[in-house]
Structure 1
Amino acid sequence: MRSYRRFSSGILKEFFCVEFYMFFDRKAGVLLHIASLPSEYGIGDLGYSAFRFIDFLSEAGISLWQVLPIGPTSPAFYNSPYHSLSLFAGNYIFISPEKLFEKGYIKDRSELSHQIGSDKIDYDFVYRYKRYLLMKAYEESHRRVKSSGRFDFFCERNSFWLEDYALLQAIRTEGGREWHQCDEDIKLRKNIRNLKDSMREQIEFFKFEQFIFFEQWDELRKYAKSKGVLIIGDVPIYPSYDSCDVWCNPEIFKLDINLVPKYVAGVPPDFFSETGQLWGNPLYDWEKLESTNFEFWARRLEFYSSIYDIIRLDHFRGFIAFWEVPFGEKTAVNGRWCKVPSEKFFKRVLGIISRERIIVEDLGFITEDVKYIRDKFGFAGMKVLEFAFYDKNSEYLPHNYSANSACYIGTHDNPPAIAWFRSLDDRTKNNFFSYIGRKIDESQVSWEMIRLAFSSVSKFAIIQMQDFIGSDARMNTPGTKEGNWLWKIPYNFEYGDLAQKIRSLCQTYGRL
């Protein structure tokens, strides 16, 4: 594996010198996927609505914006951002058509097809339209961009992942198959140089696509920084089996001699599911990772440090012990726990990124060893209010929090507050009413929960955008495939006096 420390060292130096103090203050945040921004192009993107959203956050006193993973998705995995085709690449469907025109990559404004009126994402339209638009931009602008030197600089700076990703995308597009469905030469990466030579133009297009994505991403992040808004990036623990990461690094995953997974990821049965959750991702060979001093993860974290201000490590439990299910099982029932060299791993992590820039998703089946590692390394854990009122002694009740935590009403895997309230039985509703000291109706639930989060001792209070605007639309229901990742803010949504209402709460509870 090639090292790439040179890639981000300058960025990190500037970041720590200027902004390190910002991680110690009480802050308010919002959880909103890029895809869920209002847009007239079928899906939220990195264009003007994202900049307007940052203006809204700044006006509201919100200084954290948590996004879901931004990597390329696939209809084969129901467009889930947690089944990405690359752990490093950006999702081309988030590229802004308006910005393409503004920067001169597209010359004819009539190419910007509008799709106004839906509060759900039309992935079929978006995949086709954005790819068409980017091919048009490539035809019209690639030579000009390349001659400027910026494109070559980007490619050199990202060479540790970009060339192989672009090659695999070219293979997918031309053959319509995933790498593990291809012939042996491709599957085992034989004669790669000849393959690259024969697909040079296609590879160049996919590199151009990534150049555009990160140009727009960097512009958005710089604007957020200028407005005092830090971006929290979500870091999935596992890549998809179809991903470039598994294709290029099969030795660090539990694969057989034919590169088929021996075991796959999931979580065991629990209160929410009698059969557990079978995710299907290939599992790491942690002995192999340890023998390389966790170089693969070092690469990832260095990269994320350069594109996010704070990271959220998904499925923290899996960094201490993971649930291993034999490949081919239909459910996650028949699995076993396997230990991870977690102390060695997190010592390596803290040599790359400071603990103040890490939130860990310590939810689900959490044992004492998980809590021990979290507390030993000083990571901020997560507290979810929607888990609190089933038990009067729950650790998720606000009076049980520690300051080094992030409080959520719910995550992307939970319903917004209104939908949650509707699902409660009478006993749990009464527990909730008893805790807040009064009975309220459904229309008041979202803001009562926001107040609980903001008033908590947690240093971060992060609220789904649905709760701020009173929506009951759920982003994802774990254990299901259809109907997820579809919600977006309606195109004609008016923020109105919402910013001032939020800012008042931030001021009251010391989060400005």
Structure 2
Amino acid sequence: MNTAIHPFLSRRTSGVLLHITSLPGPNGSGDFGIGARHFVDWLASAGQSMWQILPLSPAGPGNSPYQSVSAFAGSPLMVDLDDLVRMGWLPWMPTQGFDHHRCDFTRVAPWRMACLRKAWDGFSQRGSDACRAALADFCTEHAHWLDDYALFMVLSERHIGSWPQWPAPLAQRDPAALDEVRQHSSRALGFWQFVQWRFWVQWQALRDYARSRGVQMVGDAPIFVAHHSADVWAHANQFLLGGDFEPEVVAGVPPDYFSTTGQRWGNPLYNWPAMAHDGYRWWKDRVAHLFRQVDVVRLDHFRGFEAHWEIPATEPTAVAGQWQSGPGLQLFAALQEELGPLAIIAEDLGLITPEVTALREACGFPGMRILQFAFGGGPANPYLPHNLERNCVAYTGTHDNDTTLGWWRAASTQDKAAVRAYLGPAVDTAPHWTLITALSQSVASTLVLPFQDVLGLDGKHRMNTPGQAIGCWEWRFDWRQVDHRPAERLLAMARAHGRIP
């Protein structure tokens, strides 16, 4: 296996972390419309060459993009409705007075889905021959995942509960039962195909625009998929399920300093021997699909590919779990053999053993270093700027951390003293810029900054709090929060520290 660092990740660059739904706009949540292009322009003006986002997949329970109904489909909420109006398929829809600073999914999602259904009606009545042909071509090209996804969504609307609770012929994917659904539900299936087509067309247009401005897109791939998903339903033999199709064991992480009971995520675990038997076909298709969408992929919970925490499904916490080996280098060698060099960032946070580090290094993937984790354990702490290595991606924090200003304000007197001792007294007046500067000056090849930190926002603007079920993933910014100074400062910093490609 080629262990060389991918060219995208070997040069000195910097970028910003901001999810699509956090973009400004009148339609309740950010999307692929004009607000996204304005943000690309802002990145270019600030000398930033990377835009990192969270998973593009449909959000699941709690509005989390990490618990999706599909590892391949795109979120309908990200489709630009104004584009559908311009195409003549959607009548102008008056905005609903949505909050500009947070996404109220309980209001936004139903309204946006209603708009998409109106657009499907309009397309069905007025779509040009060229557009109909383009949709047909898209459906053919993406049939390996789109057919199952559309079926899954139609059946989910018609049946209560998760898919193992559906009528047995449907849960078991009886060919005759599925053919009957296809024959009698062509219009319902067509809606979900139409939405995915517009998602794909709009996203590729945005990605092309970003490339024209010198901005690469960094995507995010959760390691696990939700049990109630098209992937598990369509590939049940690839997961550790019982005879009733319910998980026998589920994913999570063991107890640690932060949680005495660990974290029970609840995702079904992969049947790695079954996946190896067919040459990891599902993973090859998934990763190929990702790299058709983005330039670089952040691979979540990388340590799970070396060994994962397996919890009996009957256990309410993660305490009774045990480590089980993952596919290791065999999977990534198979991916590279088919797809070529992989521009992957390995999310190697948490309990990282020498074996996990050895796997990451054997793959040539950079790991992640979070500066908020650096100020404990003395000068040997691997997250301190002087201990960073070139082949890593440095962050002040991620979507799972508090904003840097929120983190600083909540820090103990002892922790603040450690930060001052390392970064100097300037941290008291501008903690976010002090941490950003320290990372920008480091040898880390890649620097990624949450947009909240660039704007100096406090903890009220945090994106996610792990373990909290309510109020996460909702944050949005408004252009009125952004003046000329952050872009000018980032540009000057990128020039001074050699991060302009």
Which TM-score band (shorter chain)? over 0.9
User: RMSD of the alignment, in Å?
Assistant: 1.5
Cα pair 1:355 1:379 within 8 Å, conserved: no
Pick one of 155, 168, 183 that aligns with 1:197: 183
| Residues 177/341 of structure 1: CA separation in 2 closer, same or farther (3 Å cut) | closer
Deviation readout 1:280-314 (Å, 9 max, x if unpaired): 00000111111111111011011111111000100
What secondary structure does 2:63 align onto? coil
Pick one of 184, 206, 209 that aligns with 1:220: 206
Specify the alignment match of 1:3 in structure 2: none
Distance between the aligned counterparts of 1:509 and 1:32, measured in 2? 23
| TM-fit CA distance, 1:342 | 0.6
Structure 2 residue identity aligned to 1:186: L
Specify the alignment match of 2:159 in structure 1: 175
| TM-fit CA distance, 1:438 | 2.9
| Residues 343/146 of structure 1: CA separation in 2 closer, same or farther (3 Å cut) | farther
Specify the alignment match of 1:124 in structure 2: 106
Distance between the aligned counterparts of 2:342 and 2:227, measured in 1? 31
Structure 1 residue identity aligned to 2:81: P
Note the 1:26-37 alignment, pairs <5 A: 26-37=12-23
Specify the alignment match of 1:137 in structure 2: 119
| Residues 192/129 of structure 1: CA separation in 2 closer, same or farther (3 Å cut) | same
| TM-fit CA distance, 1:439 | 5.3
Which consecutive unaligned segments of at least 5 residues does structure 2 have?
1-5
Specify the alignment match of 1:428 in structure 2: 415
Specify the alignment match of 1:319 in structure 2: 305
Distance between the aligned counterparts of 2:42 and 2:335, measured in 1? 34
Pick one of 95, 112, 131 that aligns with 1:113: 95
Q: TM-score, normalised by structure 1?
A: 0.92
Pick one of 457, 482, 492 that aligns with 2:443: 457
Distance between the aligned counterparts of 1:221 and 1:112, measured in 2? 28
What secondary structure does 1:70 align onto? coil
Distance between the aligned counterparts of 1:341 and 1:204, measured in 2? 37
Same amino acid, percent of matched pairs:
36
| TM-fit CA distance, 1:352 | 4.0
Structure 1 residue identity aligned to 2:114: Y
Which consecutive unaligned segments of at least 5 residues does structure 1 have?
1-19
Distance between the aligned counterparts of 2:124 and 2:150, measured in 1? 15
Distance between the aligned counterparts of 1:188 and 1:356, measured in 2? 35
Distance between the aligned counterparts of 1:382 and 1:354, measured in 2? 23
Cα pair 1:119 1:491 within 8 Å, conserved: no
| TM-fit CA distance, 1:429 | 1.2
Residues 1:478 and 2:460 are matched in the alignment: no
| Residues 330/389 of structure 1: CA separation in 2 closer, same or farther (3 Å cut) | same
| TM-fit CA distance, 1:181 | 2.0
What secondary structure does 2:375 align onto? helix
Number of aligned residues: 488
What secondary structure does 1:389 align onto? coil
Cα pair 2:32 2:78 within 8 Å, conserved: yes
Deviation readout 1:76-128 (Å, 9 max, x if unpaired): x101000001000000011112221123222x32x142435431111011111
Flag as ranges the 4+ runs of structure 1 deviating above 6 A. none
Distance between the aligned counterparts of 1:270 and 1:246, measured in 2? 30
Cα pair 1:98 1:112 within 8 Å, conserved: no
Distance between the aligned counterparts of 1:309 and 1:252, measured in 2? 28
Cα pair 2:17 2:451 within 8 Å, conserved: yes
Specify the alignment match of 2:48 in structure 1: 62
Residues 1:505 and 2:490 are matched in the alignment: no
Distance between the aligned counterparts of 2:66 and 2:128, measured in 1? 33
Structure 2 residue identity aligned to 1:167: L
Pick one of 46, 67, 73 that aligns with 2:32: 46
Specify the alignment match of 1:91 in structure 2: 75
Specify the alignment match of 1:494 in structure 2: 482
Pick one of 320, 326, 330 that aligns with 1:334: 320
Distance between the aligned counterparts of 2:286 and 2:319, measured in 1? 31
What secondary structure does 2:73 align onto? coil
Q: TM-score, normalised by structure 2?
A: 0.94
Note the 1:10-409 alignment, pairs <5 A: 22-74=8-60, 77-106=61-90, 108-109=91-92, 111-142=93-124, 144-145=126-127, 147-148=129-130, 149-190=133-174, 191-355=177-341, 357-392=343-378, 393-409=380-396
Specify the alignment match of 1:6 in structure 2: none
| Residues 453/495 of structure 1: CA separation in 2 closer, same or farther (3 Å cut) | same
| TM-fit CA distance, 1:490 | 2.6
| TM-fit CA distance, 1:354 | 4.9
| TM-fit CA distance, 1:498 | 2.2
| TM-fit CA distance, 1:507 | 0.6
Structure 2 residue identity aligned to 1:85: V
